[in-house]
């Protein structure tokens, strides 16, 4: 059983998705929902042993599975997790359960396909985090576009077709060049697609720079980094709530994870060489996109831009090459998974009732939805990085790391504390406080038991991680230190 936990984490949701799909038309919607929830919970349950059985003392890959897949090209079904990827597998499986719950009453149209798309996507995303073979990674990376494309296009808003195409083609553009980089590495390494082999592969600086740029195009689009971020606000605004949650909580982490798995260890010299570029782009994302978020009139767009700014923080943390920075970035990624997921769910709660995401249509929501207002308050504070919430831990660690690296970088990054607080709390104020804006707001009903459960679970995660982050950070130490040693060693000959 423990021998193929990762395979179970990948294939249980996918098989569950196919089963859900087979329930067919909306007449069987209750059955589809029940099966989907069962599949999602089962998928989460099998990831629990990953944490319990995880050996914190080693940086080696754990729960490894290795089987030959396509022998002529030496492509293997090679899975394994370390301290960097393990938490994302659990996070993803966890978010999937919430997403299935979040769509429970809201989605009434093609229920089986909706739930199946999320389950299949969940399995594919787990596959990305577990892959230790370059082509296996790529295959999961690319295949995960299909479900999200369908989710945005089938259950999205009025401009969904444009957003779905933009999302798909933008990401595909990045990943096709990434594929060529993988093929190039295959020949450089004498016929291996193993990511771990590539970590040891000596490469000339020139080659490293080209590879780094190919990786960067793929991952920068996915993160997304300024200036290739423009697909994200469109995708978020048009996607249904569940789609936005998965995209923000997991989708954006893929790019950052790719940087850690590919760019830093395979091309360490190029990473040092071009770190200035990445830091500059990250700071632009943090500061400029922060101001862009300030002026948004649409709540989802505001949170989308805030996600870009937060991810700017993550890429900043990676390229300062110290343990605080990288661990802070990882913590930030997980925290952002909770917080942005929760923010999109909160907006979804409002949207389900009012069918509007415009800040101007709201005001005084606290009068009719007090319980909701309390949760929304907590998540907004976490988004702004208030101490004792998970949002604070990562940002603080990254700023500490930045101070070690360069004071002015740290200073610029720290302005996010102000801008982030400004755009989040200002939105919160306009939506929740003040006089009741109109009759629709006055008639709002507070959250029901299902919504309460979802938000409460997330609130516990946000507070728990903010107050006691050790369970999250202690599993990372060994892997992050190993990564840092790796990056510090030149691969030039």
Partner 1 sequence: MLSNFIVPDLVPAAPELFVLAMACVILIVDLFVKSKERTLTFVLTQLTLVVSATITFYTVSYDKTYTFANMFVDDQLADLLKLLLDLTVIVVLFYARGYIAERVSMAKGEFYVLVLFATLGMMVMISANHLLVLYLGLEMMSLSIYAMVALNRDSTQATEAAMKYFVLGALASGLLLYGMSMVYGATGTLEITEIAQALAQGAVNKTILVFGLVFLVAGIAFKLGVVPFHMWIPDVYHGAPTPVTLLIASAPKLAAFAMVIRLLVNGLFFLSPDWQQMLMILAVLSMAIGNLAAIAQTNIKRMLAYSAISHMGFMLLGMVSGVVDGDARYAMNAYSSSMFYMVAYVITSVAGFGMILLLARAGFEADSLDDFKGLNKRSPWFASMMMVVMFSMAGIPFFVGFFAKFSVLLAVVAAGHIWLAIVAVLFSLIGAFYYLRVVKIMYFDAPIDNSPIPASLDTKLLLSANGLAVALLGLFPHALMYLCAVALISSL
> Within 13 Å, how many C-alpha atoms sit on residue 177's CB side?
17
Q: Residue 113 or residue 390: which is nearer to partner 1 going by CB?
A: 113
From candidates 48, 60, 67, 169, binder to partner 1 by CB under 8 A: 169
Q: Min. distance of Cβ 172 from partner 1 in angstroms?
A: 6
How many residues bind partner 1, per CB under 8 A? 35
Query: Quick one: CA torsion of 63, 67, 72, 73, rounded to 10 degrees?
Result: -10
Residue 20 interacting with partner 1 (CB under 8 A): no
From candidates 180, 280, 467, 488, binder to partner 1 by CB under 8 A: 180
55: left (phi over 0), alpha (psi -120 to 50) or beta: beta
First vs last C-alpha separation in the chain: 44
Q: Residue 169 or residue 467: which is nearer to partner 1 going by CB?
A: 169
Q: Residue 155 or residue 305: which is nearer to partner 1 going by CB?
A: 155
The DSSP code for 201 is -
Closest CA to 99 of 79, 120, 84, 81: 120
Q: Residue 73 or residue 408: which is nearer to partner 1 going by CB?
A: 73
Residue 177 interacting with partner 1 (CB under 8 A): yes
63: left (phi over 0), alpha (psi -120 to 50) or beta: left
From candidates 86, 99, 164, 398, binder to partner 1 by CB under 8 A: 164
Residue 146 interacting with partner 1 (CB under 8 A): yes
From candidates 129, 138, 262, 372, binder to partner 1 by CB under 8 A: 138
Q: Pick the piece of the chain touching partner 1 (CB under 8 A) from 177-185, 285-293, 378-386, 468-476.
A: 177-185
From candidates 11, 38, 104, 184, binder to partner 1 by CB under 8 A: 184
Q: Pick the piece of the chain touching partner 1 (CB under 8 A) from 136-144, 216-224, 365-373, 442-450.
A: 136-144
Residue 145 interacting with partner 1 (CB under 8 A): yes
Q: Min. distance of Cβ 153 from partner 1 in angstroms?
A: 4
Q: Write the CB contacts of 347 (distance below 8 Å, at least 6 apart in sequence).
A: 241, 299, 300, 303, 357
- Using CB under 8 A as the binding rule, the residues of this chain from 250 to 309 that contact partner 1 are none
From candidates 33, 160, 253, 430, binder to partner 1 by CB under 8 A: 160
Distance CA 275, CA 270 (A): 8
Distances (CA, A) of 295 to 183, 305, 396: 43, 10, 26
Q: Residue 147 or residue 385: which is nearer to partner 1 going by CB?
A: 147
Q: Write the CB contacts of 383 (distance below 8 Å, at least 6 apart in sequence).
A: 303, 306, 339, 340, 343, 391, 420, 424
Distances (CA, A) of 146 to 45, 134, 491: 26, 20, 37
Q: Min. distance of Cβ 176 from partner 1 in angstroms?
A: 4
Distance CA 119, CA 147 (A): 9
3-class state of residue 63 by DSSP = strand
Q: Which two tokens stand for residue 190?
A: 């004498």
Q: Min. distance of Cβ 374 from partner 1 in angstroms?
A: 38
Distances (CA, A) of 450 to 36, 95, 101, 104, 106: 16, 15, 7, 9, 12
Q: Pick the piece of the chain touching partner 1 (CB under 8 A) from 145-153, 369-377, 395-403, 469-477.
A: 145-153
Q: Pick the piece of the chain touching partner 1 (CB under 8 A) from 85-93, 165-173, 285-293, 318-326.
A: 165-173
Q: Pick the piece of the chain touching partner 1 (CB under 8 A) from 135-143, 363-371, 402-410, 441-449.
A: 135-143
Residue 204 interacting with partner 1 (CB under 8 A): no
Exposed/middle/buried for 443, CB within 10 Å: 0-12, 13-18, 19+? exposed
Residue 153 interacting with partner 1 (CB under 8 A): yes
Q: Where do the H-state alpha helices sit in 239-298?
A: 241-246, 252-258, 264-266, 268-273, 275-294
Q: Pick the piece of the chain touching partner 1 (CB under 8 A) from 92-100, 140-148, 227-235, 393-401.
A: 140-148
Q: Residue 24 or residue 53: which is nearer to partner 1 going by CB?
A: 24
Residue 187 interacting with partner 1 (CB under 8 A): yes
Exposed/middle/buried for 184, CB within 10 Å: 0-12, 13-18, 19+? middle
What is the pattern of x (binds partner 1, CB under 8 A) and - over residues 46-85?
Answer: -----------------------xxxxx------------
Residue 236 interacting with partner 1 (CB under 8 A): no
From candidates 64, 172, 414, 484, binder to partner 1 by CB under 8 A: 172
Q: Min. distance of Cβ 75 from partner 1 in angstroms?
A: 9
Q: Which residues pair with 358 in a beta bridge?
A: 298
Residue 161 interacting with partner 1 (CB under 8 A): yes
Q: Write the CB contacts of 405 (distance below 8 Å, at least 6 apart in sequence).
A: 320, 321, 322, 325
Distance CA 152, CA 236 (A): 9
Q: Pick the piece of the chain touching partner 1 (CB under 8 A) from 175-183, 229-237, 422-430, 482-490.
A: 175-183
Distances (CA, A) of 490 to 192, 269, 270, 486: 21, 6, 10, 8
What is the contact surface with partner 1 in residues (CB under 8 A)?
A: 24, 69-73, 110, 113, 135, 138-139, 142-143, 145-146, 149-150, 153-154, 160-161, 164-165, 168-169, 172-173, 176-177, 179-180, 183-184, 186-187
């Amino acid at each position: 059983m423990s021998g193929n936990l990762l395979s179970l984490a990948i294939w249980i949701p996918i098989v569950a998705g196919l089963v859900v799909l087979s329930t067919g038309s909306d007449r069987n919607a209750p059955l589809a929902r029940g099966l989907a929830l069962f599949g999602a919970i089962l998928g989460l349950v099998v990831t629990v042993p990953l944490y319990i059985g995880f050996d914190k003392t080693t940086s080696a890959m754990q729960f490894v599975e290795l089987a030959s897949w396509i022998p002529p090209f030496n492509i293997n079904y090679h899975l394994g997790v370390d301290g960097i990827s393990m938490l994302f597998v659990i996070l993803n499986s966890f978010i999937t359960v919430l997403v299935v719950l979040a769509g429970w009453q809201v989605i009434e149209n093609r229920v089986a396909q909706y739930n199946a798309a999320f389950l299949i996507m969940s399995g594919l995303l787990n596959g990305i985090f577990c892959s230790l073979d370059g082509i296996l990674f790529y295959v999961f990376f690319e295949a995960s576009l299909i479900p999200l494309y369908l989710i945005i296009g089938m259950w999205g808003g009025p401009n969904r077709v444009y957003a779905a195409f933009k999302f798909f083609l933008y990401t595909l553009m990045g990943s096709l060049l990434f594929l060529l980089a993988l093929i190039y590495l295959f020949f450089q390494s004498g016929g291996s697609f193993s990511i771990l082999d590539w970590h040891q592969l000596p490469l000339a600086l020139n080659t490293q720079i080209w590879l780094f740029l190919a990786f960067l195009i793929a991952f920068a689009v996915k993160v997304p980094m300024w200036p290739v971020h423009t697909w994200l606000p469109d995708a978020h605004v048009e996607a249904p709530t569940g789609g936005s949650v998965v995209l923000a909580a997991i989708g954006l982490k893929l790019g950052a994870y790719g940087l850690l798995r590919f760019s830093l260890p395979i091309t360490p010299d190029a990473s040092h060489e071009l770190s200035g570029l990445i830091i500059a782009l990250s700071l632009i994302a943090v500061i400029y996109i922060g101001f862009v978020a300030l002026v948004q009139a649409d709540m989802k767009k505001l949170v989308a831009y805030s996600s870009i700014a937060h991810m700017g923080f993550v890429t900043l943390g990676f390229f300062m090459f110290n343990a605080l920075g990288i661990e802070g970035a990882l913590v930030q990624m997980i925290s952002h998974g909770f917080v942005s997921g929760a923010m999109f769910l909160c907006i979804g709660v409002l949207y389900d009732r009012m069918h509007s995401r415009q800040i101007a249509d709201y005001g005084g929501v606290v009068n009719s939805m007090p319980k909701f207002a309390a949760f929304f308050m907590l998540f907004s504070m976490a988004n702004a990085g208030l101490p004792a919430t998970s949002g604070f831990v990562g940002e603080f660690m990254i700023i500490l790391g930045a101070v070690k690296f360069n004071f002015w970088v740290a200073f610029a990054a720290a302005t996010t504390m102000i801008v982030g607080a400004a755009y989040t709390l200002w939105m919160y104020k306009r939506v929740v406080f003040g006089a009741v804006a109109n009759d629709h707001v006055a008639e709002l009903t507070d959250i029901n038991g299902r919504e309460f459960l979802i938000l409460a679970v997330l609130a516990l995660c946000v507070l728990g991680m903010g107050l006691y982050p050790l369970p999250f950070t202690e599993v990372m130490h060994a892997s992050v230190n190993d990564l840092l040693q790796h990056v510090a060693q030149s691969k030039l000959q």
